[in-house]
Structure 1
Amino acid sequence: MPVFSEPNLLPGWRVFKLDPPRLSLVCFVKSVHKLAPDLLADWDGDPATLLGDMRHDDEPTRSLAYASDFVLSKPRADVTLVGKAYSPGERPTLTLPVRLQVGSVVDKILGIFGPRVWKGGLLRTTITEPEPFTTMPLVYELALGGVADKRNPVGRGRDSDELPNIEWPRRLITGRNDKIPPAGFGPVAPDWVPRTGRLGTYDKTYKKTRWPWLPADFDFAHFNAAPEDQQVDGFLRGDETILLENLHPTIPVLRTRLPGQRVRLFLDVLPPGGEKPVMREVGLRLDTLHIDTDKEQVVLVWRGHTDAPSFKLKELKDVLAVREPLSAAPRPLEHYRAILAHRVENPLEEHIPPAVKVQIAEAEKALADAEVQMETARADAEAKVEEQKKLALERGVSPEQLEPKPLSKYEMAEAAAAQFVAAKAQMKKMGIADDDPRMVEVDEGAKKFQEARVQMGADRPPPTREELEAAARDGRPMPKSDLTKMNLAGAKLAGLDLTESDLSESNLSGADLQGATLAGATMLETDLTRADCTGANLDGVNLMTCTVEGIRLRGASLVEAVLMQLALPGIDCTGVKASKSNWLECDLTGARFVEADVTEAIMLSVRVEGADFSRANMTKTLFEDVKAKGIRMIGTTITELKASRNSDFRDADFRTATGDGAMFRDVILDGARFAGGSIRKGIFADSSLVRTKLFRMDLAECDFSDAVLEDTLLAESNLLYCLFDRATLRRTRFDGANMYQSSFMETIFEDPVFRDANLKRTGIES
């Protein structure tokens, strides 16, 4: 569904049964700001994204650096901070107080100590004096804890010689076994105390009455990641002041304020049996304030929930996220209903990016330099002509006979280029090496005049067929030429460079264009019947109106080419380079794209029944409304390939195909074969997989939600963390599959086979 939001607002949602059987839509809106004195500013760095739990340095054994945006609910607001402590002026110090204050709801001081160790033996233990420091990371690894400490298993001081560097100023450590909680500003991991004590009871009663949802005694305070003295009853307003003391590298005492904004979220939902969506507002509360002083970043998250119309949210038509100043009264619903209606009708308004301009500065400079040199040559030549004219007049020759025919710029460039080529040949005869500065200078001059000659092709009469064939034989490039309506049937043009030439309405039937360069050429109604374009460069060419029966394209380059409504059954495109090409309503039945590069290509309403894409690179290729029955993709790279809109892949062969993130949503895969490949994090949601074979596949974290898996084989496959929510599993075989912690919410089971499968933490019994 379309999502409309004001800048710096990032909405997200989850469907969940917070209170079974009631279905809830949990919504959240994230806003990222730059930490600055006086008032937070909108973030101007990399675009914000919604994140799950993030550990420091992305190491799973480290403490938590950022708590998930996706939690279901928070009974109180979280205030957290990560970063470093800084001594003022970078002066070494032994101890340092740091302070975090948010309005009147959080005011916390911690003591930072330089490195210390336990000293002594069995009878008496002492603490060494702290060593000087200027900065200290604020992580729980430097707070009191140890492996056996469930409050902080990554800390120090209990089972290590090093003492904690972060302490409570009024509860300093005196011994290893002191009953003191870890000191810190950062988020607490979900698998640490006290969060683990709020997970509820998972027993037989739970399995019978609540599985797979949360138990009845689940405490939603589990989702509060802030230390308990940084949790705020009644949530945050959004205009609180912030004070950071010794927590910024250059500002010892930083005072700022939240932006004072009210965030609102509106949904357009189609009611049961209705034809017109109804707008509703989701009440949001500001429940997260996260400060990262290293990034100079402040994150705010608003959260709320409402009734969900269904799991798949097909009734949800539009989403609108806005912000208002807290100082103003909330605008009425009608105001935002009008805004949403306008944006739905004009989805691109105010969001159209500036046009992408072709960068031609270097080419223009080269052409200008060449023209200067030509004008110099012209002036020299005219001076010599005047001298010869004077001598001729003295001998009685008439002025009319002496007036030379003016040379065009093209002819001058051609002559100058020829002189440079002749000079180079003479220098080679003299034994001058290619890297000699004089030879390099000649090469550069020839190149400039050749470029000028090509760019000034319009100043030249159209070449004849004989000239084109001669240029092809000699390996000479042709300038950009007007070749419209030329009869080049059967012409020998192999290897000829016709870049950006106009071949509209020309007859190239049966022409030999092997290895020719036609990049950017205009081909309106060009006849390419039986033309041999093997290895030719057709980059950027639009073949939509061309006649292409019997054309040969093996090994050709079709980068960004457009092929629309073309009948090419059985075409051999082996080894073609067709990245970002567009194939629209083409007939490619039985075509061969073996070892082709079709990355980021678009295939829309194309027929590829029986086509062979084996060992091709189809990374990010888009298939939409495609007829692909019996297609072969053996050993094909399908990373992030996207197939959708009822595309038909019946009896397709995907054996040994690999590609994480491939998507087959709402497609027909009946009878298709997958074996020995890898499609981790793939999507098969809403698809039909009747009699589909997925044998010994790595399908970890794949989504089979709402799919039909009837007589489907998933034996010996890795199905770790897969989603089968609301899927139909009718006689589906999971023999020997690893299904650890896969999800089966509201799944329909009809005689599935789980023989020798790993069903741990799935909630189902074999």
Structure 2
Amino acid sequence: MELINRLPFPAIAFRQFDANGDLDCVVSVRGTFVHRQGEALAIAPKQEDFQWEDAYDGDPHAGPLLRQTDLTPEKVGTDITFLGNAHAPGGTPAPSWQVGLRVGELSKKLDVHGARFWRPVIKEKWAGFSARQARRVLTDWQLTEAEPASSVQICWSKAYGGQIPGTGNPETETPADVEARNPLGCGIVNLDMPSDQAPVAAPQITLPGETLNWREQVEPQGLGLVSPWWRSRQQHAGTYDEAWLNERHPLLPKDFDARFWQSAHPDLVAIPHLTGDEDYQLDHLHPSFALAAGRLPGISLGVRCAGHERDEWYLLSLDGVHFDWRNDSRVMLTWRARFPLQEAGETSLTLTRVQVKAAVDADAGEVVA
């Protein structure tokens, strides 16, 4: 199997078993672009390399996911994610403000806050008349006012979640339990913590208008990529039991759901896929533009599969729009196609831009290179 890539972007073709054990072909493309205020994204002069594996900021269990592998076989929708900082309006430090991310019709708004903490409330209690001194007891937690900030990192470590106090055992090397929806987060406290407990960082990223109560769980909020073992993805992974091991392995379980491959927050998965040419706007997420506005490029990609008495075209789906504004204004777009290819042999795959002609009727269409 040969891939002829006529695009300025890195691409790869690989084989993948389907649910029945037949072989498919997956063609995956990663393009690096640059934000231009009020205009369509421009192709970056330097393209990021193909992403062979998930990339993390340090330890995968302690740092956020920065890039999802391009060996992902399929996605049912378009992931929209953001890496970078929220910037206070006008650059003036503020305790809280709102940010927004919109691509096409899909949008999400969040409140961001400067550093704030759960402060322990300690009271003295006497055990009885015979007690020689009062016992210090943690009786409540109070949320401090947010400190003014000019920027706040939009990272899962600043959203609700993290380790659950009182779990784990260092002596037996048993790790602490974590909030499965966001193992990297902060803000979980309880009354079983020691009376000399220092203040605990509280979530700085919340839904608009959301108030915190330390006794109540809240849904972790963010714009970044989600790791495969977090609940929003893991719940779709299927059942790996003895029946799977004896009857299905190495195929995926019968109850595997392709939504597992989506790496964005569930609120930021566009179904059906975006097609290109959608406009976007990011509010208070760019260091230079309070409202960073632009448009996705109107690019349609196709792959021609020729060989073994077949000559067919397949359109690639735009399945990822990833803003990485930590250091510059780059935006990564990913495209993917998956189609049956039981016999690869001398098959030739030609990857190129295509023009999609309007269909004569609802069931007809044409792809022209």
Unaligned runs of 5+ in 1: 272-277, 337-766
Structure 1 residues 693-716: Cα deviation after superposition (integer angstroms, max 9, x where no partner):
xxxxxxxxxxxxxxxxxxxxxxxx
Report the alpha carbon displacement of residue 42 of structure 1 after superposing the two structures with TM: 0.5
Counterpart residue number, 1:152: 182
Report the alpha carbon displacement of residue 161 of structure 1 after superposing the two structures with TM: 0.4
Counterpart residue number, 1:221: 259
Counterpart residue number, 1:251: 289
Q: For 1:47-446, what aligned pairs fall within 5 Å after superposition?
A: 47-57=48-58, 60-104=61-105, 106-121=106-121, 122-147=138-163, 148-159=178-189, 161-175=200-214, 177-271=215-309, 278-294=310-326, 295-310=328-343, 313-316=344-347, 318-324=348-354, 336=369
The DSSP-based 3-state class of the residue aligned with 1:202 is coil
The DSSP-based 3-state class of the residue aligned with 2:201 is coil
Higher CA-based Rg = 1
Q: Quick one: distance in 2 between partners of 1:321 and 1:58?
A: 36
Q: Quick one: distance in 1 between partners of 2:47 and 2:294?
A: 22
Q: Quick one: distance in 2 between partners of 1:94 and 1:136?
A: 10
Report the alpha carbon displacement of residue 329 of structure 1 after superposing the two structures with TM: 5.3
Structure 1 runs of 4+ aligned residues shifted over 4 Å read 57-60, 328-333
Q: Quick one: distance in 2 between partners of 1:254 and 1:80?
A: 15
Q: Quick one: distance in 2 between partners of 1:109 and 1:257?
A: 19
Report the alpha carbon displacement of residue 209 of structure 1 after superposing the two structures with TM: 2.2
Report the alpha carbon displacement of residue 212 of structure 1 after superposing the two structures with TM: 0.5
Q: For 1:736-747, what aligned pairs fall within 5 Å after superposition?
A: none
The DSSP-based 3-state class of the residue aligned with 1:207 is helix
Q: Quick one: distance in 1 between partners of 2:21 and 2:226?
A: 31
Letter matched to residue 83 of structure 2: V
CA contact (8 A) 2:31 2:48 kept: no
Report the alpha carbon displacement of residue 324 of structure 1 after superposing the two structures with TM: 3.7
Q: How many residues align?
A: 323
Q: Quick one: distance in 1 between partners of 2:218 and 2:63?
A: 21
Report the alpha carbon displacement of residue 67 of structure 1 after superposing the two structures with TM: 2.1
Closer, same or farther in 2 for the Cα pair 1:95/1:309, shift >3 Å? same
Report the alpha carbon displacement of residue 7 of structure 1 after superposing the two structures with TM: 3.7
TM-score (norm 1): 0.40
Q: Name the % identity.
A: 27
Structure 1 residues 227-270: Cα deviation after superposition (integer angstroms, max 9, x where no partner):
11111121111111100110001111111000111111112223
CA contact (8 A) 1:145 1:182 kept: yes
CA contact (8 A) 1:141 1:154 kept: yes
Counterpart residue number, 2:128: none
Q: Quick one: distance in 1 between partners of 2:241 and 2:48?
A: 43
CA contact (8 A) 1:190 1:222 kept: yes
Q: Quick one: distance in 2 between partners of 1:127 and 1:257?
A: 40
CA root-mean-square deviation? 2.2
Q: Quick one: distance in 1 between partners of 2:14 and 2:3?
A: 15
CA contact (8 A) 2:111 2:209 kept: no
Q: Quick one: distance in 1 between partners of 2:213 and 2:287?
A: 31
**Which has the larger share of strand?**
2
Q: Quick one: distance in 2 between partners of 1:60 and 1:203?
A: 24
Q: Quick one: distance in 2 between partners of 1:180 and 1:47?
A: 36
The DSSP-based 3-state class of the residue aligned with 1:238 is coil
Report the alpha carbon displacement of residue 284 of structure 1 after superposing the two structures with TM: 2.2
Closer, same or farther in 2 for the Cα pair 1:74/1:4, shift >3 Å? same
Q: For 1:649-668, what aligned pairs fall within 5 Å after superposition?
A: none
CA contact (8 A) 1:269 1:280 kept: no
CA contact (8 A) 1:33 1:298 kept: yes
Closer, same or farther in 2 for the Cα pair 1:171/1:284, shift >3 Å? same
CA contact (8 A) 1:20 1:210 kept: no
CA contact (8 A) 2:26 2:338 kept: yes
Structure 1 residues 645-683: Cα deviation after superposition (integer angstroms, max 9, x where no partner):
xxxxxxxxxxxxxxxxxxxxxxxxxxxxxxxxxxxxxxx
Report the alpha carbon displacement of residue 306 of structure 1 after superposing the two structures with TM: 1.4
Closer, same or farther in 2 for the Cα pair 1:8/1:173, shift >3 Å? farther
Q: For 1:454-493, what aligned pairs fall within 5 Å after superposition?
A: none
Q: Quick one: distance in 2 between partners of 1:39 and 1:289?
A: 13
Report the alpha carbon displacement of residue 76 of structure 1 after superposing the two structures with TM: 2.2
Report the alpha carbon displacement of residue 47 of structure 1 after superposing the two structures with TM: 4.4
CA contact (8 A) 1:309 1:315 kept: no
Letter matched to residue 201 of structure 2: E
Closer, same or farther in 2 for the Cα pair 1:192/1:263, shift >3 Å? same
TM-score (norm 2): 0.81
Q: Quick one: distance in 2 between partners of 1:293 and 1:47?
A: 14
The DSSP-based 3-state class of the residue aligned with 2:235 is helix
CA contact (8 A) 1:89 1:250 kept: no
Counterpart residue number, 2:4: 4
Report the alpha carbon displacement of residue 125 of structure 1 after superposing the two structures with TM: 2.2
Report the alpha carbon displacement of residue 41 of structure 1 after superposing the two structures with TM: 0.3
Closer, same or farther in 2 for the Cα pair 1:81/1:252, shift >3 Å? same
CA contact (8 A) 1:150 1:193 kept: yes
Structure 1 residues 459-490: Cα deviation after superposition (integer angstroms, max 9, x where no partner):
xxxxxxxxxxxxxxxxxxxxxxxxxxxxxxxx
Q: Quick one: distance in 2 between partners of 1:101 and 1:287?
A: 16
Structure 1 residues 287-331: Cα deviation after superposition (integer angstroms, max 9, x where no partner):
211111223111222222112234xx3332x322122467x6599
CA contact (8 A) 2:277 2:295 kept: yes
Report the alpha carbon displacement of residue 204 of structure 1 after superposing the two structures with TM: 2.5
Counterpart residue number, 2:192: none
Report the alpha carbon displacement of residue 186 of structure 1 after superposing the two structures with TM: 0.8
Structure 1 residues 58-93: Cα deviation after superposition (integer angstroms, max 9, x where no partner):
655212122222212222221111111112343211
Closer, same or farther in 2 for the Cα pair 1:292/1:71, shift >3 Å? same
Q: For 1:579-598, what aligned pairs fall within 5 Å after superposition?
A: none
Q: Quick one: distance in 2 between partners of 1:8 and 1:86?
A: 33
Unaligned runs of 5+ in 2: 122-137, 164-177, 190-198, 360-364
Q: Quick one: distance in 1 between partners of 2:224 and 2:102?
A: 14
Closer, same or farther in 2 for the Cα pair 1:300/1:18, shift >3 Å? same
Q: Quick one: distance in 1 between partners of 2:304 and 2:35?
A: 29
Report the alpha carbon displacement of residue 182 of structure 1 after superposing the two structures with TM: 0.8
CA contact (8 A) 2:186 2:202 kept: yes
Q: Quick one: distance in 1 between partners of 2:114 and 2:354?
A: 46
Q: Quick one: distance in 2 between partners of 1:13 and 1:3?
A: 7
